[in-house]
Amino acid sequence: MKKRAAVENTLHALLVLVLSLGLIRIVWYAIALVITDIYPPPPRPASPDDGKPTPQDIAESLNTIWLSFDFDHCRNVCLVSRVACKLKGCIGVPGTKNWD
């Protein structure tokens, strides 16, 4: 009987410890969220490349088959090559580079 009581007490202590640690972790996480809300990170300065396609976007546009009315792909292709722009049928699509 005493042995069973000792096991029950040990299991109860472990349960209380696990639940207490879980509660402390949840409270700690909530405090961290509140702190990040109070002090938001500074806004990222606009770089001169904003709005321009990345080299990965251009490579994807050149290496995939797409419909001619996809303006993003036309913009990416016409930015790089006049011949590719003409072959893809993108000359005159709004937002593309004009080759003179």
Structure confidence by residue, pLDDT tens digits, 36-84: 888 877 777 766 666 677 778 888 877 777 666 678 888 888 888 888 8
Q: What integer pLDDT is reported at residue 30 of this predicted model?
A: 94
Q: What integer pLDDT is reported at residue 67 of this predicted model?
A: 66
Amino acid at 81: S
* Whole-angstrom distance, CA of residue 61 vs CA of residue 49: 18
Please report which helix (H) or strand (E) contains residue 74, including its range: helix 71-80
Q: HSE (CB half, 13 Å, CA atoms) of 90?
A: 28
3-state SS, residue 93 = coil
Whole-structure pTM value: 0.43
Straight-line distance from the first to the last Cα atom of the chain, in angstroms, rounded to the nearest whole number: 97
More confident residue, 22 or 78: 22
More confident residue, 51 or 8: 8
